[in-house]
Structures are given as C-alpha cells and as structure tokens.
Structure 1
Amino acid sequence: MSRQPLRALGLSTGKKARLHRILHTFGLANGTALFLPYDQGLEHGPRDFFANPAAGDPRYIAKLAVEGGFNGIAVQIGLAEKFYWDFAGEVPLILKLNGKTEIPPDGSALSPLNASVEEAVRLGADAVGYTLYVGTPAQTEDFAQYQVVRRDAERWGMPLIVWAYPRGSAIADKGGKNSFYAVDYAARTASELGADMVKVNFPNPAKRTGVPAPYDGDYSTQDAIGAVVRSANRSMLLVSGGEKAGDEAMLEKARQSMEAGATGFIFGRNVWQRERVESLRFVAHLREILAKYPV
C-alpha cells in the first residue's frame, strides 16, 4: 500500500508545516518517521531503566535521539521543561499531554491530562501526544477529555499523535489488547476521532478467543497490519516496538509494517534498554528499512 503525501491528508497549514519539518527535515527526510518515546518513567516507573541505568538520565536519551537521527522524541512536560532546551532545534519535541502510573489496574484506565497544547507551543514542540484507552469503562470521560485536546490542537495548528491502546476487561475477553480485533478497532477509533498520527502495537491475529466472527480467521500478520493501516485511513500509522524482544522478530514486524503502508515506528525500550553502541546499531537497521519506503 502506498503512503499518501502530506498534501493529500487534509491538514491545516500549521499542522502541515510542522509535520513537513518532522518528516522531511529530520530523520531520513524521506517522509518516513522514527520516534523515540521516553514516558516510561511515569508509565512503568524507574524499573524500566534497570537494564541500562544510563537511560534514567533524560540527557542521555535526548543525545541518543540526536545521534540516532530520530524524527522526534516524546516526553512528559517535566522532562521537556528541564532537559529538552539543551537539544531544542536538534530533534523535534513531541509533548505528551497525559499519562498515568501503572499502579492502578488497567480495567478502568484513564490517562489524565497534565499539560496543554499551549504549553507545547511555548516549549517549541512540533507535535503533541495523547494516550487514548479504547474499550474501558472510563471511555466516555476519556473521549470528552480528548475532545478538548483535539480542539486546541486544531486552534494552534499542532499535529496530534494518538497512542491508541485497547484496554479493560471487555478487551481482555475479546482476544486481548494486542489481538488483531483490538488493534484494528483502536486504529479506526483514533482516526474517526481526528488523530493526525496513530500509534498502535503490532497486531497478533493468532489471539482469537472471543473475537467477533470476522476476525476469527486464519489471517497472516501481513494481512493484519495491512488492515490496521487501512482502518487508520488518512491518519498516518506508527507501529510501536513494545517490550524488548528478539531483534530479528522486531525487524520483521517493522518490514511488514512499512510494506503495509505505515509511516514509521515509535521504538522506546527496544532502543534505550541497550548499551549505547548497541542501541545505535539497532537504530541503523530500522533506518535501513525506512530508507526503502520513501514517500
């Protein structure tokens, strides 16, 4: 599936200008994207840094993003205010506007706002990120909170990247959060709610217990990720690296994602839980894949 250029996505002038800077000035500058998320300190706690203690220092991560040729780094507001200024202009900032700890259960998950689009503009961000939990009992409140962000993003001309995460007991009963059904539904939901980019986990079509009949079939992983890209419509799709796993398996998922028409990847722990040289080596492999799919 071919990727659509920015001019075909119905974007406002401000959003188009910022996304053009992200996709055609940074990274490979060929219309693909590679983002480095660093909100795990809030989402998972400091335990995520045990594998590579150096990663607990936000300056290390920002420098890694610059050296690795990333299209952007996604952080919460505290780190953006205290550390990003040292690297402002060297790598685009994606300000995460909401987040939560992992301490409460996911069953009624809601990721509360802790920053605004206006603050993102003040900090020189090129995009904002919002975590949307699809399928939880708190979905109504989540959608209302998201509506405020979407309106502000439109008013300020700020691209909106939605972390579209299926969660809750209803999702667990229908294949689980990484099932083809759940990921496909989350991508479509984020697109219909106005996301400019959608971040999803790679779908697993083998997770079929309890899924609706159309998803209870022998789909390949290529079939599944292709359907998810189509469900995102004119919202660009980013595929998450998820938890650290074997390199060849992750790179194969990356290749399948780009073949399906994804815009790029958002890899965090899979990158910075390694020692620096190994991190950059892995990033080079991702860039080799992205280089084959220019827009």
Structure 2
Amino acid sequence: MNPYENIVEYLGVKAPLYLEHVCEKITKDKLQTPSIHTIDTIFGNSNRNPQVIRSLSQLYNHGNLSGTGYLSILPVDQGIEHSASFSFYNYPNYFDPENIIKLALEAGCNGVASTFGVLALNARKYAHKIPFIVKINHNELLTYPNKYDQTLFGTVKEAWNMGAVAVGATIYFGSNNSNRQLKEIAEAFAEAHNLGMATILWCYLRNESFATTEQDYHSAADLTSQANHLGVTMQADIIKQKLPTTNYGFKKLQFGKYVDSMYETLTTEHPIDLCRLQVANCYMGKIGLINSGGGSKGASDLSEAIKTAVINKRAGGSGLILGRKAFQRPFEEGVELIQTVQSVYLEKKISVA
C-alpha cells in the first residue's frame, strides 16, 4: 500500500471530508504556505538577525521533513506538566531523559522540545545531532489545590549555553496570571533573539469560565485564534496551538469583541476552515502554526494523529508537535507513529485546501 492509500485508509469513511474540502471563506491564495523558501521569504526582510535565521534553518532543515517548510517536533515536558509517574508509568524507560532524545532522532524529527533538566543532561552528546528546543517555563502540579500558572524554570542564557537552537514557552491566555507571563516571555524571547535563538510559543487558554455546562471553549476557533494573534505580536517565530474543536467562544461567553458577520465571513463549521482561522491569525501563515497532537487514547492514536496532520496541512499550517501519542507506547511503535504522520506532509497529493 502506498503512503497516500495508507492515509486514506486511516481516515476511513471521512476521508473525502478532509481530503476534498476547499476553503471558500479565507482562500489559500491569501496565505503564505510552507515551502523550501519559507525562511528566506518570511524572515529574510525581518528584524531577526542572521544567527536567528541560521537557528531557524537548522530546525527546518533537519530530519525527514528537511527542506519542505514543515515541522515534526517531539515535545516531552509532561514529567512536570502532568507529573512524571502518570506520564511514564506504562513505559518507564522515559524516566531516563536520553530515551526521549533517542526517540526524536530515530523518528527523524526536526527537533526535540523538553525541559532544562532533560536536555542539559545530554547536551554534549546530542545538541549537535538534533536541534534542541528548551521549554523555559512550566505549570507544576504539587501546589494544592492545583493552580494554572506558568513559572520560569531557568534562564535563556542557560539554554543558549547548552547549544539550543530555540526556546519554547507557554502563556495561559485568559488566566489571572497571563499579563505577568506575557511580560516575562516577551522579555525572554527578546533575549533569545539577541542570542541568535528561535522562539516557539505555546498559546494556550486557561480560564474556568471558558468551560460551560454546554461546551468547553478552551479549544474554540475564535478564542485560540486570538491567542495566536497575541503570540505573533510578541514576535514568536512559530506558534503552537491545540486544534480547534468548536467556535463562537466570544459570542457564547459574551465577552471581548464580536459580531455575527465576522463568523459568517471568516469560517464555517468544517474542521479545516476552523484551523484556517488559526493560520490566518498567524499573519496569514507567515508565522508557522504547529498543532499539538493531544493525549494518548490507545488504539485510535494513529488515525487521530493522521487526521490532525491532514487538517493542519490542508488549513495551511506548518506541522505537528506530537508527544504523548508517541512516547506513551513502545519505542518502535512511537517511531512508526511519528513517521506515518510525517508522511502526510511529504505526500504531494495532500495539498492546501
């Protein structure tokens, strides 16, 4: 079976829904779509210094997707974000951080994103073999009751010293602490750019009021898209966002700025159109959108990951940052899953909608 037929099989009866859709609200001719020329086209005339452009080039030109304009990144910071025992109990080998890096290498990822501790312990052995992305802040789970706040765990200079090509950070937009986080990360990203590193922002939403009895709007297209727009305003070079699963967050929650016509003009209920709105809010695709792979659900992980990749690619996105679906299974299965997802971005029959 060729790769395209394999993808179609995993999509099942909904294959035509995802593979034949045409976006008619925000059309593809308005987008900057990923290509081998992405870095020159987007950043060649920007304020990013030559060292930042070189770091971006290292990231985009590594692994199986090298030279395509697409990214496949392995992120493993769940030992802090979700607690280590909960994250690794099925496959305890990942308590050893070297195995995280080995998974990214074996799968042909563009880079590996993890904590200061994971990457620092292996920096001399691997920083020259695969691009390091140091996640500089985290939400720890030992405060009781749990709170949603991202806290810096180290310095940008420390990440630079270990040979990282990029730093990553999360802002919980909508949370009580979002303004402090925004200021901290804006300053950290400015320092990273001065040192020649690229920047990736996890633009997540956190507010108890966003989850109602009828719907959880943390993944609403309009709200996540605005978070993306805040992220690119902070000069993030790449945006990480969850795939949208609904819409009308501003309207249903009755806050912010909205009119009915903005929803009618910009999007539909189709999953690719919802993701297209996220891409549009990343400066019409000029800043790459990578969607997260989501949690592991077992047998359906591969089909779900392929569906997410197809939606992201056809919406005009720049790839996937997929972790739990890969490392919460045997090593070889994790490699196979990542590489099957990469095949979506390598398949020329799957084009921007």
Both proteins in one fold, TM over 0.5: yes
Distance in 1 of aligned mates of 2:171 and 2:230? 9
Match of 2:324 in 1: 269
Q: Radius of gyration: which is bigger?
A: 2
CA contact (8 A) 2:62 2:109 kept: no
Q: How many equivalent residue pairs?
A: 295
How many Å apart are 1:138 and its aligned residue? 1.1
Distance 1:29 1:138, change over 3 A: same
Once the two structures are superposed, what CA deviation does each residue of 1:231-254 show, in whole Å capped at 9, x if it has no partner? 111321111001114221221121
Match of 2:222 in 1: 181
How many Å apart are 1:18 and its aligned residue? 0.7
Match of 1:145 in 2: 184
Distance in 1 of aligned mates of 2:168 and 2:70? 18
Once the two structures are superposed, what CA deviation does each residue of 1:13-32 show, in whole Å capped at 9, x if it has no partner? 11111111111233321221
CA contact (8 A) 1:239 1:265 kept: yes
What is the SS of the residue equivalent to 1:45?
helix
Match of 2:314 in 1: 259
Distance in 2 of aligned mates of 1:120 and 1:106? 31
Distance 1:172 1:194, change over 3 A: farther
Indicate which of 34, 38, 43 corresponds to 1:3. 34
Once the two structures are superposed, what CA deviation does each residue of 1:176-210 show, in whole Å capped at 9, x if it has no partner? 21122222121111111211100001001267653
CA contact (8 A) 1:225 1:257 kept: yes
Distance in 2 of aligned mates of 1:239 and 1:135? 19
1:57 aligns with 2:112: no
Distance in 2 of aligned mates of 1:291 and 1:78? 33
How many Å apart are 1:103 and its aligned residue? 4.2
How many Å apart are 1:291 and its aligned residue? 1.0
Distance in 2 of aligned mates of 1:258 and 1:51? 31
Identity across aligned pairs (percent)? 24
How many Å apart are 1:169 and its aligned residue? 2.3
> Which of 275-284 and 99-108 deviates more?
99-108
CA contact (8 A) 2:189 2:199 kept: yes
How many Å apart are 1:113 and its aligned residue? 1.0
1:228 aligns with 2:228: no
Return the TM-score normalized by structure 2.
Answer: 0.77
The AA in structure 2 aligned to 1:272 is F
1:33 aligns with 2:71: yes
Distance 1:15 1:171, change over 3 A: farther
Return the TM-score normalized by structure 1.
Answer: 0.91
Distance in 2 of aligned mates of 1:196 and 1:254? 20
The AA in structure 2 aligned to 1:49 is F
What is the SS of the residue equivalent to 2:281?
helix
1:158 aligns with 2:197: yes
Distance 1:107 1:172, change over 3 A: farther
The AA in structure 2 aligned to 1:7 is D
Distance in 1 of aligned mates of 2:289 and 2:83? 27
Consecutive unaligned residues in structure 2, runs of 5 or more:
1-27
CA contact (8 A) 2:34 2:70 kept: no
What is the SS of the residue equivalent to 2:243?
coil
